[in-house]
Structure 1
Amino acid sequence: MMMKNLTRYFKSIRLLAILLLLQTVCRAQSPAQNAPQLGKATVKQVIAAMTLEEKAKLLVGAGRGFGPPPPPPVPGKKDSAAKPAAPAGPMIGQTDQKVPGAAGVTYAIPRLGIPAIVVSDGPAGVRISPIRKGDSSKTYYATAFPVGTLLASSWDVDLVKQVGVTFGNEVREYGIDILLGPGMNIHRNPLGGRNFEYYSEDPLVTGKMAAAIVQGIQSNGVGTSIKHYTANNQETHRNTVNTIVSERAMREIYLRGFEIAVKDAQPWTVMTSYNKLNGTYTSERADLVTNILRNEWGFKGFVMTDWGGGRDPIAQMKAGNDLIMPGNPNQAKAIIDAVNSKQLDESVLNANVEHMLNIILKSPAVANYKYSDAPDLKKDAQVSRMAAAQGMVLLKNSGSALPFSGIKKVALFGNTGYDIIAGGTGSGNVNKAYTTSLAQGLQNAGLQVDDALLKAYPAYIAAERAKQPKPQRGMAMFMGPPPVPQMAIADADLQQDAANNDIAVITIGRNAGEGADRKLPDDYYLSDAEKALIKNVSEAFHAKGKKVVVVLNIGGVIEVASWRDGVDAILLAWQPGLEAGNAITDVLSGAVNPSGKLATTFTMDYKDVPSAKNFPGKEYPDQATGEGFRRQMPAEVTYEDGIYVGYRYYSTFKVDPAYEFGYGLSYTTFNYSNFKLSAPVFKGKLTASVTITNSGKVAGKEVGQLYLSAPAAKLDKPVIELKGFAKTRLLQPGESQTLSFTIDARALASYDTAQEAWVAEAGNYTASIGASSKDIKQTAAFKLAKEMVVEKDEQALAPQVAISELKSK
């Protein structure tokens, strides 16, 4: 009896132990089971349920060492959650999580329904790995769209939005949540290595183009990241350079484009730049990241660093830079330690997390979107081709050399006629399935390319490439191979080419990108071989009464004044994307009438550029640290040109450019008439209108450009500033269209740092309508009766040292 009772007792004990164990397991699991889920609970409820570690990790990207969180423990399975995830890939633009080749991911918190979101380069097309795990049976190529400078040269916001819609579909269908673009820094200097990514020297054009492509991309339910915020106008020492610039220049030139993009399009994210701004890294400046961006402009998304940007994660958190990319565990630990030691209030993290979760909530990742990995690349390529042709600029066309008429045989000279440059290097590069060369484009249009040249150039280029050393690791691989020297053409061969062909087309190519700025010799200026090629070809063909056309396949401005008189036509094709050759041929042949206008000035010489004297600034080698690719050199650049960037300088100081801002020819002509204002006195708003008529013989489009000249009794001002632009539809010969522009109070105002306000001075204003900044067609005057304070702001970004800024008087 006693044994039975004892047996029952032990059974009861075992049963109780099992029940206690099950209860413990259930309790361990219940927080995850009952925790609020993103998308079902409010964002604030989700934040309240997050641990300090989870908050810190969400605010630090998972690209370098976190990997995904471990799975929850499985009852009864030993060490089921003990193994940490493997670290992710290298810093520059690589992750194998979800989308191989994407730039990075955020940290996932599955227990709260917070997924990892994928971010990917780049501004001219999705930049991901085209081949995965060595299996080429399925590819993941993307469309290379025209570079930003070409899109801006279209002056067509509807076109750019259409490109964005197409672009955003590829972002979504490749499983990406946020595209790291567009880039929208100002073309302060033509040697800027990433100018091709950016739109213009003018903040209005920059802001409107960025807003258009953001609207298009985000219409697909994916996000963008406008970058690099801000005053990141060079690549030289970009991680260490201290940009010294006045508050007025910041407000009117370098911030204005970002302001327009934020207010017009609400990009999901903003990316801070690498540089210091007046002594402090941009990602660590609360006045830039919170006061201006959020409080003044009403930005609703989250802010992320550039990859490896800034130095102090605590300062970044306090500034409102929500996400540190690509992220490493040390940064998360520093944030946790700062909260625990009371150096950082957890409420700061809560605000930053809220910014991020509000955007994550909108992402395809939250919706568990079943992306196809198969966008319609053939259809998208046609959009790229169409946009490319619309943004090309006809710089010269003597004797109606273009469009081709009666041309059957083309002598195509220049390396890039056969090895065309679709886009720039670095994070702006795109892994594309093909690039159509100009030779192919001409042949596709039924033109015959000289056979000897068609064989000689590819063979020469291949042989020269074989001689080049293999790229080193690090940034050298990111920057692409060096250019192949121009192939020399023997005089006897040239004479035969001139005899056998109807016309000569010479291509001049330039490329640049992330990590380095351009140089003057053999880059801004033509090489001796290029000059000789243009001279010799022109002489040979002109001697036989045949025309010579130069096609500029370039990403940034070059010197043209010294050689342009020797050729008959110059087509600025920029870097037109993967359908480059077809798009260029569309314009050369007349299938498309060029309607592009310069969004950046071509000067007569580099010395005419107002920033030439202090670009890229001073460096301090005695303070340098690190070696090789990781060498960091303290540097400093002072923006002594102030507000006088681009045409603002050339127009005010009467410096004649080779081709001015807003310039571009057409195969037809246009007449401007009936320019008028809605009232002679400004009372809050005015409307300007003009009628543009196609007075030529072929259909074409024209860009109307509205400039304003303001009284300058109190503040120094440029003589003209662009305040509006619009492009006509395709007008048939004799057809007219009336364009309208709104002039609001902000358009009249300049930033007065003494008042910390946008102020419109009382007096007489002149509105001008033009085909370019120099080619003004008509003017109209109006008056502002008394000074108007349009917007009052707080002091921000003030320089710590005096700046000797350029003044017009």
Structure 2
Amino acid sequence: MNAKEIVSKLTLEEKASLCSGKDFWTLKSVERLGLSTIMVTDGPHGLRKQDAASDQLGINNSVPSTCFPAASASACSFDRDLLFRIGQAIGEECLQEKVSVILGPGVNIKRSPLCGRNFEYFSEDPYVSGEMAAALINGIQGKGVGTSLKHYAVNNQEKARFVSNSVVDERALREIYLTAFEIAVKKSQPWTVMCSYNQINGVYGCENQKLLTDILRDEWGFAGLVMTDWGAMNDRLEGVKTGLDLEMPGSHGFNDGKIVAAVKSGALDESALDKVVLRVVELILKSQENRRESYRYDKAAHHALAKKAMLESAVLLKNDNGLLPVKNGQSLAVIGGLAETPRYQGIGSSKINPTFLDSALDSLKAAGVSFDYAKGYSLEPGSAADPAFIEEACKIAANKDHAVIFAGLPDGIESEGFDRDTLDLPESHNQLVQAVAKVNPNVTVVLQLGAPVILPWAQNVKSILLMYAGGQAVNSAAVDLLLGKANPCGKLAETWPLSLRDTPCYRYFPGNPRSVEYRESIFAGYRYYNTAEKPVAYPFGHGLSYTKFAYSDLKLSQSSFKPGDKLQVSFTVKNTGNTAGAEIAQVYIAAKNSAIPRPSNELKGFEKVFLQSGESKTVSINLDTRSFAFYNAQKGSWDIEGGEYEIQAGPSSRDLPLRIAVQAAGEKLSLDQKDKYPEYFDLPKNDFAISDASFEALYGRKLPPGSRRPDEPFDLNSTLGEVAATETGKKFAELVLRQASQALGGSGDILAMMENMLMDLPMRGLFMMSGGAITPPVLGALVDVLNGKPCTDPALAAMLSQ
């Protein structure tokens, strides 16, 4: 039977049942009609299949699998083929473990470097994010395993992520925050899309008709299933009506019963339910068709691919006087605990149990390199600088030709569930680098972290090699790069600012308790820094090599452009150095004399080209209507503004030696926007502040309140942190935290993540988080008590008496 025939034979109760998960990781079955249960598991940079039934936080170990470089690292490869191959490998591991859908990739934009989950996301640029995601998805799904493109949408922070309202103007929504999803959907058709926890302009993602149906399905042509993030469901009936297919991990039958009752009462049209159920059945059938019994993957080959991926993704930020690679015969000091125990991934639902884990010390020994080693600092969370460790490091570095320091952000600083509050490295790392640089003029720093940091010692060291969260082979890859066995070729997929205050959303991140205003609008990342001509530490697209490249001979296939045309941009890249290497050539478009706010330039194409010493190649990149278009919020369409544009090509967003003009036919705009929101036309370099009046004019409606009113009644969307402001709520919150700690255990950093998540959790989410122990009637009774009514529920009374 096909999916439609199966749906026609389902009972109402069976239909409702299929709309939610059986448990944390599996869907329900209807064996009489040939529908078996299927498994979904976390990703996105490897398979995280857990034996434990209910640990979505990454606390308990999962089955061993290859930990590939996180998206923050692999994006720097700008290599679609590499991401495709990683996807194939992840798909193979899913086949072995009988996993039907892996929950990734994540394409949320890096709005602020403080976001605790940025290591899981690709870029501050939607084009890069979409291209990398599409390649990864195609690789995974080519093996017959589904993906879940997430978190849809405008989920760019961890603080208050369950209830916050992302307040974003329509143009920024479409150009910045939806474009990556659009590219991935159109180029790869993921089997599923995962909606985010948050509200988008006042409507939760899991019941958002505009996002789930009007844009995703009707406009982009998405043909798959939409599922919730775990515990994101707000109103299940609204979800069915607006296109939310699958609630995960389910509500122990509670919402299923609501669906049945609503259909019987006429409050929910059964035809709407049938559409949702059809997509669930289609996913199950597709998964069943692609099962491969007794499949086994090659662990060693996948580890080698993880290393290859990191070699292609590492970014050489600085290399004064050609200090790297390490020269033969140089005496070497290796310093830093991360050389022995790498920081190779983040904390949370993406945490992988690796099949192997390479040590830089072992890799150096295997390469026959002699060195002295000093620990340099403690890897314990929150540990202070230790003078004895620093003294030991300086002692071994003082008489060496070259000192290599492994530094970064240790485990527990970057995590799902909370955001960082600083861009600083641990003081123990900063003091170590500064001290060693005083006794040795030839210092290389190898950075392991998930997101940008401030480097106060950058001018005092000669070389900086950025590895990001580079997966299980990060340290063996670092050694190959240090020794010159491989040539760095990665480029930054995000800007590294000079200070936190310089970031465009500094004033607005993480926002108010209940609303996050995206006042920077389209000026995210380099779109702000470049337009405001703001100095940065390292610009978007930056990355050095052990060789040199020259750009020349920029040509266009035509001198003018009109909607519907294809424009080919071609130029020559030559390796002018003495070493073979790869260059990531980038093409940007700049609108000249625009009547609307526009970034100074925007990335519209890139290509990675490998060149032997002295070799030249022609790079060709095609541009289309969308490359020139902006989203016209007044018309609800993508339009080209008529006038002159400049095509720019080069090695980074701020190093573009090739430029040529092209005339584009399009709309003659007279939108009178400068009087309404003047700040967006003249971005300040020092303090990016947007007035209430300007943002409200851009937003096009009255701004919502930022926090809960003191006299506002509590409800099921009140967070545990909000209710803890009352005596009863505090007692209840303490009970929840105590029981969660006892049930989950874990290290100090894990417990901190858990506490942050729980305090931001709406009370409706406690039903899922407690495994059904805290029931909806108990939560409803608690709301009544918080609002001044007497306690009439015996179960709640018993809980509060503990």
Q: TM-score, normalised by structure 1?
A: 0.79
Given candidates 576, 584, 587, the residue that maps to 2:470 is: 576
Matched, 1:191 2:114: yes
Shift of 1:672: 0.6
Q: Is the 8 A contact 1:407 1:502 kept in 2?
A: no
Q: Deviations over 1:340-394 (max 9, x none)?
A: 111111111111111222222221x34553144x421111000000001110100
Q: Is the 8 A contact 2:299 2:355 kept in 1?
A: no
Distance 2:387 2:266 in 1: 69
Matched, 1:314 2:240: no
Distance 2:112 2:91 in 1: 30
Given candidates 57, 81, 86, the residue that maps to 2:17 is: 57
Q: Is the 8 A contact 2:566 2:624 kept in 1?
A: yes
Distance 2:10 2:62 in 1: 39
How do residues 356-505 of structure 1 correspond to structure 2 at under 5 angstroms? 356-363=280-287, 365-366=288-289, 368-372=291-295, 374-407=296-329, 409-450=331-372, 453=374, 461=378, 482=381, 484-489=383-388, 493-499=392-398, 501-505=400-404
Partner residue, 2:415 = 513
Partner residue, 2:767 = none
Matched, 1:707 2:588: yes
Q: 1:495 to 1:241 in 2, by over 3 A?
A: closer
Helix, strand or coil for the counterpart of 1:299? coil
Matched, 1:783 2:663: yes
Q: Is the 8 A contact 1:601 1:659 kept in 2?
A: yes
Distance 2:361 2:489 in 1: 23
Partner residue, 1:84 = none
Matched, 1:298 2:179: no
Q: Is the 8 A contact 1:559 1:603 kept in 2?
A: yes
Given candidates 351, 357, 365, the residue that maps to 2:275 is: 351
Amino acid at match of 2:293: K
Partner residue, 2:179 = 256
Q: Deviations over 1:314-345 (max 9, x none)?
A: 11111101000000210111111111111111
Shift of 1:485: 4.4
Q: Deviations over 1:44-94 (max 9, x none)?
A: 11111001111111111111xxxxxxxxxxxxxxxxxxxxxxxxxxxxxxx
Matched, 1:45 2:21: no
Amino acid at match of 1:567: V
Partner residue, 1:694 = 575
Partner residue, 2:437 = 538
Q: Deviations over 1:190-240 (max 9, x none)?
A: 000010000000000000000000001111011000100000000011101
Helix, strand or coil for the counterpart of 2:649? strand
Partner residue, 1:341 = 265
Distance 2:491 2:601 in 1: 18
Q: Which runs of 5+ in 2 are unaligned?
A: 54-60, 670-697, 706-802
Shift of 1:162: 1.1
**Bigger Cα displacement from structure 2, 511-520 vs 484-493:** 484-493
Helix, strand or coil for the counterpart of 1:705? strand
Q: Is the 8 A contact 1:130 1:431 kept in 2?
A: no
Distance 2:201 2:215 in 1: 16
Partner residue, 1:19 = none
Helix, strand or coil for the counterpart of 1:424? coil
Q: Which runs of 5+ in 1 are unaligned?
A: 1-40, 64-102, 133-137, 466-481, 620-634, 790-796, 805-809
| Structure with greater Cα Rg | 1
Q: 1:642 to 1:49 in 2, by over 3 A?
A: same
Q: 1:129 to 1:354 in 2, by over 3 A?
A: closer
Q: Is the 8 A contact 2:444 2:463 kept in 1?
A: yes
Q: Is the 8 A contact 2:495 2:526 kept in 1?
A: yes
Partner residue, 1:740 = 620
Partner residue, 1:528 = 427
Q: Is the 8 A contact 1:712 1:761 kept in 2?
A: no
Shift of 1:483: 5.3
Helix, strand or coil for the counterpart of 2:229? coil
Distance 2:666 2:62 in 1: 64
Given candidates 212, 219, 222, the residue that maps to 2:142 is: 219
Q: Is the 8 A contact 2:529 2:535 kept in 1?
A: yes
Shift of 1:711: 4.0
Distance 1:709 1:381 in 2: 41
Partner residue, 2:36 = 115
Given candidates 632, 644, 648, the residue that maps to 2:523 is: 644
**Bigger Cα displacement from structure 2, 410-419 vs 390-399:** 410-419
Amino acid at match of 2:433: I
Q: TM-score, normalised by structure 2?
A: 0.80
Shift of 1:598: 0.3
Distance 1:144 1:494 in 2: 31
Distance 1:182 1:712 in 2: 38
Amino acid at match of 1:180: L
Q: 1:758 to 1:144 in 2, by over 3 A?
A: same
Shift of 1:411: 1.9
Distance 1:366 1:494 in 2: 58
Shift of 1:801: 2.6
Helix, strand or coil for the counterpart of 1:724? strand
Distance 2:112 2:595 in 1: 28
Q: Deviations over 1:727-770 (max 9, x none)?
A: 10x21111111111111111111011111111101111110001
Identity of counterpart residues, as a percentage? 41
Distance 1:231 1:371 in 2: 40
Helix, strand or coil for the counterpart of 1:578? coil
Q: 1:494 to 1:388 in 2, by over 3 A?
A: closer
Helix, strand or coil for the counterpart of 1:165? helix
RMSD: 2.1
Partner residue, 1:629 = none
How do residues 537-616 of structure 1 correspond to structure 2 at under 5 angstroms? 537-542=436-441, 547-560=442-455, 562-616=456-510
Distance 1:798 1:306 in 2: 27
Distance 1:400 1:437 in 2: 25
Distance 2:323 2:481 in 1: 12
Shift of 1:163: 1.0
Q: Deviations over 1:101-144 (max 9, x none)?
A: xx511110001111111100111110123799xxxxx9941000
Amino acid at match of 2:607: A
Q: Is the 8 A contact 2:155 2:196 kept in 1?
A: yes
Q: Is the 8 A contact 2:555 2:570 kept in 1?
A: yes
Q: Deviations over 1:654-689 (max 9, x none)?
A: 111110000000000001111110011114121100
Distance 2:133 2:390 in 1: 48
**Bigger Cα displacement from structure 2, 430-439 vs 680-689:** 430-439
Shift of 1:283: 0.8
Shift of 1:311: 1.1
Amino acid at match of 1:122: G
Report the count of equivalent residues.
664
Helix, strand or coil for the counterpart of 1:336? helix
Distance 1:657 1:139 in 2: 40
Amino acid at match of 1:702: E
Distance 1:579 1:492 in 2: 30
Distance 2:131 2:391 in 1: 52
